[in-house]
Structure 1
Amino acid sequence: MTKYMILIYGDDQQWQAMTAEQRKAHAAAHDAFTAKAGAAILGGEELEPATVATSLRSDASDRVTITDGPFLETKEVVGGFYLLEAADIDEVTALASLLPEVHHGHSGVEIRPVVDHG
């Protein structure tokens, strides 16, 4: 079995502008995903808006700079993640296709295998 990270990207402003009804439908879609994925889910969380992020980078002299917000100015930000264990990428893509972010024009998901160092 391989571990996969599903990164959920989208437009923070679109997520913040959702009505109560839209939020309820969005949560129900995530509930359906978690029910279908079951024990394959090893973890996952929704993240606070990118505006409360803190970014760290170092320069050529290894001096660390701390910046409020995401490092890059971008319309799409990481809004959450799931960590799954699955037999192969086909299984993960089938599950991830259930996520509501895949079906909205302002968002999407990225799936990446986790490196096994062991």
Structure 2
Amino acid sequence: MPLYAAVIYSAEDLDWTAPEQAEEMAEYGEFGQAAAAIIRGGAALFPTATATTVRTTGGKGGDVVTTDGPFAETKEVLSGFFLLECADLDEAIAAAAKIPAAWNGGAVEVRPVIPMG
């Protein structure tokens, strides 16, 4: 069966490790239990302030340049993902609609995964 990435976007200021996020994290736990049969991986991410953007100059093998934070400033940021194994896109969308970000002010982007090897 094909794999789909359910990419989660939420407000920039969320820190999933903060005590005030416990209730929403419990909702994610409930989703994880309910969708365990199709989840193949996933993780919550620390806030973008902890991110490092990596580029190289001069093409492949060039000098490595790092920048603190994300590439672009936006209202919503990548905050986590699930890797879902579903029969088709319709099943992946139905599963993504049950991820808390879909109704808690964020969004969930569903994308097919290209098998690598």
Q: TM-score, normalised by structure 1?
A: 0.83
Worse-matched range after superposition: 38-47 or 25-34:
25-34
Partner of 1:87, secondary structure, is: coil
Shift of 1:37: 1.1
2:87 matched to which residue of 1? 87
1:116 matched to which residue of 2? 115
Number of matched pairs: 114
Native 8 Å contact 1:7 1:78 kept in 2: yes
Task: Give structure 2 stretches of 5+ with no counterpart.
Answer: none
Q: Which structure has the highest helix share of the two?
A: 1
Amino acid at match of 2:34: K
2:76 matched to which residue of 1? 76
2:102 matched to which residue of 1? 102
How many angstroms apart in 1 are the aligned matches of 2:43 and 2:15?
Answer: 17
How many angstroms apart in 2 are the aligned matches of 1:117 and 1:66?
Answer: 27
Q: How does 1:1-118 map to 2 (within 5 A)?
A: 1-13=1-13, 15-16=14-15, 20=19, 23-59=21-57, 62-105=62-105, 107-118=106-117
Task: Give structure 1 stretches of 5+ with no counterpart.
Answer: none
Percent identity, aligned pairs only, is 40
Amino acid at match of 1:5: A
**1:25-78 deviation digits (Å, cap 9, x = unpaired):** 312221221122112111111111110101012345644321011011222111
